[in-house]
Structure formats: structure tokens, C-alpha cells
């Protein structure tokens, strides 16, 4: 292309490499960023560096935090006897948004997936076992996604936990709230039927 | 929210402030960026700072460049007697992608828009007039968008250019290639009819 500005092209390429951003969006964002005032540019660039520098895993639950122990594990009014096992910190955020769950979490940072070369020892499973043995845990809720990998990981961990005599549960399957029976797939419908509740 | 990591929240906010990126995408991108290796983070942050620092307007055509004169104005085989007037550097990129246009450009960096408080003196119109008076220009193609502001700006500039005796043209209106007559709006269809060409 005759019109080539290396610094601009580099910026567009960087944005295009982010998930969910195509070439056109990347170009639009790059031009937007170019037009930002100096201090906004500086603080944008700093936010990236700072986040990468400060954020690490919580010593207890392995979710992302900027202190030694995350804000959830540090709360005294949380029920420490319940652990909700999730794939990623994003899932922690999703549960926290419900404002209903009052237990703690454990972030695996992935799911067992032989096809992607992810083996159990690459996940934070060891840390979960340590937590279960060293603390008085009543229940572990397996809250991995209802995918093949999520199911396999939940099964694997529940088998590991069995010898410790801890209660292991799994999130309910069913029709999503606001969803339509007509468009639900067969497996979801079957699971919804299996998991039906008695109305009283 | 109980789960709050300021550095992470700051990063998410920064991405959410970009055009076309909502909260969910911003969160996804922030986590992606967190997981990048150290050198990728550094080069991402540098790309933003560098682009902002190095890129400025071409002395001649006002498009963005990192040298004094942009790569298009610097090319000797370009037809310097034709100027295509566009709103933004993105439009230059769009024309360059066609690989058909061999003239030069002039970037206005905006359109006249009283409702947004953009007056003619905030655009690079003065620079265009200087170019037309000081050089041997044959034709000026008004290639602003076919919006109210684009039309008004094209009309305004063409009136300014009239005394100089330079030919001023406007991009053709019509059905977009691959488009469907059925879904074309009335104005476009009318313009397409008005601008019809004789088949020979």
C-alpha cells in the first residue's frame, strides 16, 4: 500500500490482535487513540503496564488481585466453609454480580483439555486440595462451564475430593431464565426435565 | 461489588472507553492483556505512546504521517494536479485500497457542522486554498461522505474554489455494488436514476 505509516500500522496491528476486534474496529480505535489528549494517552499506557505489574493470584483462592489476599478471601463475613470452583476470574465476577453467593471461590485458571495439551497439573487443583485438607470445608460447588472440558474437569476434581469426605455439588442445568422452550436444545431440555423440582 | 481490583478495574475502564467496545468486550480484552507475556505488554504500551508521539499531519495534504511529507505526497509518479478532498485519514486509506486513484489527497480533519460547533476555520480548508493557488491544480474532487454535513462542506468548499477557475467534481451517488434495489432507500435510488449512464 502506498499510504503506509509504520507507527500507525503498528498501533492498528496491536489492537487487531486483541480478542473480538477485527481490522476495521482496530483502525477505528487506533485513530481514536491518536486523537486523545497527551495525559489520556499516558494514563492508558500506564494502566496496561500497571495492571500487568501489580496483578497476581490470590494466595488462597487464586483469583486475580493486587494484594496478597483478594478482597473476597479477606472479608470476615464470608462463609469460608463453602468453595465455589470456577474456571477463571471472569466467572468470579459473574457470581459476584448476582450478590447472592456468600461463600468463597477457587479459580482453576483453565480446564483440563487433552486436545489443547492442558493437563491437571497445569491448573490450580493442587492448591484446592491443600485448602480442603487444611481447612474445615463443608461443600465444594463445581461451577465450571457445561462444556465437555468443564464436565471432565468437574468429574476429575470431584473424584479427587471424595476421599476427604467433603460434599461436592454441581451447578444446576436447565432452561435459562427468559429463554424459550422452543429454542432450547435437546440436551438442555433433557437436563431440565431430569432436574425438575416439586412445586409445593 | 465485593470483588474489586482497582488496577484491573482501571484497565477495563480504559478499554471500555474505546469506540465500539462495551463492558463485556472490555473485560475480555483486559484479561487477555493481563495474560500476555512481559515483552508483548511492553510493546503494546510503547506502540500507543510512540504512535501518539511520532504521528502528525503531512505538511502538504494534512493526512497523518510520521515524516514531514506523507508517503503519497512524496511519490513522484502521483498526479499532483488532482486533489481528492476527504474528511479523515481513514478515507485516504479507503481510497488507497482501491489501487485505482493516482492523484493526491487533502484531509479536512472534520466536516462543517454548526450543531457540533465545527466552523470552517477549524478545518484544513485554508491549507487547501493555499495548495490550489500556489500549484497548478486541474481538478478538485469533493469526496466527503454523502451526509448533510458532507454535502454542506462540499458545497462550501466548491464555492470558495470557484474564483480560482479550478474544476470541482463530486463523487457519484448510486446503488452500492452488490447492493439490492429492494433495500435501497428512496434518495439513493433517485440519485442513481439521475446519475444514470448511457450503455454503448
pLDDT in tens, B159-179: 999 899 899 998 888 878 877
Report the mean per-residue pLDDT for chain B. Answer: 89
* ipTM exceeding cut-off 0.90 for this assembly: no
**Residue A149 CB-half CA count within 13 A:** 16
* Contacting residues of A for B14, CB less than 8 Å apart: 43-44, 47-48
pLDDT in tens, B41-89: 999 999 999 988 899 999 999 999 988 999 999 999 999 999 999 999 9
Most B CBs within 10 Å, among A2, A28, A62, to test the B interface:
A2
Most B CBs within 10 Å, among A7, A90, A103, to test the B interface:
A7
Backbone angles phi, psi at A4, to 5 degrees: -135, 120
Residue A200's pLDDT is 66
User: Where are the domain boundaries for CATH 3.40.1360.10 in chain B?
Assistant: 65-198
CA of B103 vs chain A CAs: smallest distance (Å): 12
Residue A184's pLDDT is 79
**Contact predicate B45/A45, CB 8 Å:** yes
Residue B131's pLDDT is 94
Residue B185's pLDDT is 83
Residue B200's pLDDT is 66
DSSP conformation class of A115? G
CB spacing of B28 vs A20 below 8 angstroms: yes
Residue B10 has its nearest CB partner, among A5, A47, A75, at A47
**Contact predicate A36/B52, CB 8 Å:** yes
Q: What is the DSSP string of chain B?
A: -----HHHHHHHHHHHTSTT--HHHHHHHHHHHHTS-HHHHHHHHHHHHHHHHH-EE-TTT--EESSSS-TTTT-TTSEEEEEEEESSHHHHHHHHHHT---EEEEE-SS--BGGGTB-GGGTTHHHHHHHHHHTT--EEEE---SSHHHHHHHHHHHHHHGGGT-EEEEPPP-PPTT--GGG--HHHHHHHHHT-----
Q: What is the mean pLDDT of residues B32-38?
A: 90
Looking at domain B6-54, does it have CATH number 1.10.240.10? no
Chain B neighbours among A 66-105 (CB < 8 Å)? Answer: 66, 70-72, 75, 88-90, 92-93, 96-97
Q: What is the mean pLDDT of residues A8-35?
A: 92
Residue A124's pLDDT is 94
> Over pLDDT 90: what percentage of chain A?
60
* Contacting residues of B for A43, CB less than 8 Å apart: 14
**Contact predicate B15/A45, CB 8 Å:** no
CA angle B44, B45, B47 (to 5 degrees): 65
Residue B71: partners with Cβ closer than 8 Å, 6 or more residues away: A2, A3, A4, A5, B65
CA angle B189, B192, B193 (to 5 degrees): 90
CB spacing of B8 vs A66 below 8 angstroms: yes
* Contacting residues of A for B38, CB less than 8 Å apart: 52
Kindly tell me if the per-residue pLDDT of A109 is higher than 90: yes
* Contacting residues of A for B18, CB less than 8 Å apart: 29, 32-33
User: Where are the domain boundaries for CATH 1.10.8.420 in chain B?
Assistant: 6-54
Residue A17: partners with Cβ closer than 8 Å, 6 or more residues away: none
Residue B84's pLDDT is 93
pLDDT band at B2 (very low <50, low <70, confident <90, very high): low
Kindly tell me if the per-residue pLDDT of B199 is higher than 90: no
pLDDT in tens, B131-142: 999 999 999 999
Q: What is the DSSP string of A119-151?
A: -GGGTTHHHHHHHHHHTT--EEEE---SSHHHH
- The cell for A24 is 476495521
Residue B19's pLDDT is 93
Residue B187's pLDDT is 84
Chain A neighbours among B 125-184 (CB < 8 Å)? Answer: none
Kindly tell me if the per-residue pLDDT of A197 is higher than 80: no
Please count the residue pairs, one from chain A and one from chain B, whose beta carbons lie less than 8 angstroms apart.
Answer: 158
CB spacing of A28 vs B20 below 8 angstroms: yes
CB spacing of B47 vs A7 below 8 angstroms: yes
CB spacing of A29 vs B18 below 8 angstroms: yes
pLDDT in tens, A147-166: 899 989 999 999 999 899 89
Q: Locate cell 477549524: which residue?
A: B122
Kindly tell me if the per-residue pLDDT of A19 is higher than 90: yes
* Contacting residues of A for B60, CB less than 8 Å apart: none
Q: What is the mean pLDDT of residues A60-78?
A: 91
Q: Is A199 on the interface with B (CB under 8 A)?
A: no
* Residue A105: closest C-alpha in chain B: B3
CA of A171 vs chain B CAs: smallest distance (Å): 21
Answer CATH for B65-198 from 3.30.420.40, 3.40.1360.10, 3.90.25.10, 3.90.950.20: 3.40.1360.10
**Rg from Cα positions in chain A:** 22
> What is the torsional sign of CA B82, B88, B91, B96?
positive
Amino acid at each position: 500500500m502506498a499510504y503506509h505509516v509504520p507507527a500507525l500500522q503498528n498501533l492498528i496491528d496491536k489492537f487487531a490482535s486483541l480478542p473480538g476486534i477485527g481490522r476495521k474496529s482496530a483502525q477505528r480505535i487506533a485513530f481514536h487513540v491518536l486523537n486523545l489528549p497527551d495525559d489520556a494517552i499516558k494514563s492508558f499506557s500506564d494502566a496496561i503496564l500497571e495492571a500487568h505489574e501489580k496483578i497476581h493470584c490470590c494466595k488462597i483462592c487464586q483469583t486475580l488481585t493486587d494484594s496478597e489476599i483478594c478482597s473476597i478471601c479477606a472479608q470476615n463475613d464470608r462463609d469460608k466453609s463453602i468453595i465455589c470452583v470456577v474456571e477463571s476470574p471472569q466467572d468470579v465476577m459473574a457470581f459476584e454480580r448476582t450478590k447472592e453467593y456468600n461463600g468463597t471461590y477457587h479459580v482453576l485458571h483453565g480446564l483440563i483439555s487433552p486436545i489443547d495439551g492442558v493437563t491437571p497439573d497445569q491448573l490450580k487443583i493442587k492448591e484446592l486440595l491443600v485448602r480442603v485438607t487444611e481447612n474445615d470445608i463443608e461443600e465444594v460447588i463445581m461451577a465450571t462451564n457445561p462444556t465437555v472440558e468443564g464436565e471432565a474437569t468437574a468429574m476429575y476434581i470431584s473424584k479427587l475430593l471424595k476421599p476427604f469426605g467433603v460434599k461436592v455439588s454441581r451447578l444446576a442445568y436447565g432452561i435459562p431464565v427468559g429463554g424459550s422452550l422452543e429454542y432450547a436444545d435437546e440436551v438442555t431440555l433433557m437436563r431440565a426435565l431430569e432436574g425438575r423440582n416439586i412445586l409445593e
